[in-house]
């Protein structure tokens, strides 16, 4: 079970996927801080969430203040802004916090297309983030393959598995967040290095969305899990 007192900060919570998670976590009754480089954009996004989710416990802050306010800090910024964002918030991070990397190194970051990725020296975007955070902060990889459209469409189930990778205790805390969102199920993705595979899957899914004409975005499910293991 997820700790209901845990505050979730979502940096880049003004973007499609971050906003979708903010809506869903607020709907589950969790306290959410939306972070943005520009605090006024974060305030607007928080207002947007409040309009859609009655009684939402949500606030908008600059990225550094949002980081300081969260126990779990979800990085939902485009890959090209990921390293710079982590450097900006580094002084605000403290031991025991969890940073969740959901970015994918799509080749759009270097002016190429979204059906391909760029190679990351550390192995994955999540491991790049891990290399940048202070000691005592743990990085977990999750949520890359969850469609922003589905997250924002509050009436529907998201219908997607989330492969969560990272150090065991931190990974389990992030896995516990998944069932807060109807239709999200967490799978144990093992060590952070498996983010190498999970991140790439997003590029594959974007291509499948185009070839199979699914603008709202495909989800992914693993079949054959033991009965009752539903996140």
Q: Least distance to a copy of itself from the beta carbon of 180, Å?
A: 19
Q: How many CB atoms lie within 10 A of CB 119?
A: 9
Assess contact for 70 and 8: CB atoms under 8 A.
yes
Output the six-digit token pair for 17: 């996927």
Q: Which of residues 47 and 188 has its CB atom nearest to a copy of itself in the complex? A: 188
How far is it, in rounded angstroms, from Cα 63 to Cα 69? Answer: 10
Kindly list the distances between the CA atom of residue 24 and the CA atoms of 13, 52, 71, 79, 163, in Å, as whole numbers in the listed order.
12, 10, 18, 23, 18
Nearest approach in angstroms of CB 54 to a copy of itself is 28
List interacting residues with a copy of itself (CB under 8 A): 115, 147, 150, 159-160, 163, 187-190, 194, 196-198, 200-201, 203-205, 207-208, 211-214, 216-226, 229
Nearer to a copy of itself, 134 or 190 (CB): 190
Distance of closest approach, residue 53 Cβ to a copy of itself, in angstroms: 23
* Residue 59 or 127 with smaller CB distance to a copy of itself: 127
C-beta of 116: minimal distance to a copy of itself in Å? 8
Residue owning tokens 């970051």: 109
């Amino acid at each position: 079970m997820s700790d209901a007192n845990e505050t979730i900060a979502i940096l880049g919570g003004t973007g499609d996927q971050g906003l979708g998670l903010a809506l869903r976590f607020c709907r589950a009754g969790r306290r959410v801080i939306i972070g943005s480089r520009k605090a006024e954009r974060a305030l607007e996004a928080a207002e947007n969430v409040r309009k859609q989710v009655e009684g939402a416990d949500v606030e908008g802050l600059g990225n550094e203040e949002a980081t300081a306010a969260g126990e779990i800090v979800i990085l939902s910024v485009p890959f090209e802004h990921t390293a710079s964002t982590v450097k900006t918030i580094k002084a605000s991070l403290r031991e025991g916090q969890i940073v969740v990397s959901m970015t994918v190194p799509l080749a759009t970051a270097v002016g190429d297309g979204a059906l391909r990725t760029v190679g990351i020296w550390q192995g994955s975007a999540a491991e790049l983030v891990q290399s940048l955070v202070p000691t005592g902060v743990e990085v977990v990889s999750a949520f890359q393959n969850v469609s922003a459209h589905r997250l924002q469409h509050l009436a529907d189930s998201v219908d997607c598995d989330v492969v969560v990778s990272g150090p065991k205790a931190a990974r389990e805390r992030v896995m516990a967040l998944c069932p807060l969102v109807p239709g999200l199920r967490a799978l144990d993705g093992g060590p952070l290095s498996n983010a190498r595979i999970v991140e790439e899957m997003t590029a594959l899914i974007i291509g499948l969305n185009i070839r199979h004409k699914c603008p709202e975005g495909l989800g992914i499910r693993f079949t054959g899990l033991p009965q009752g293991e539903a996140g």
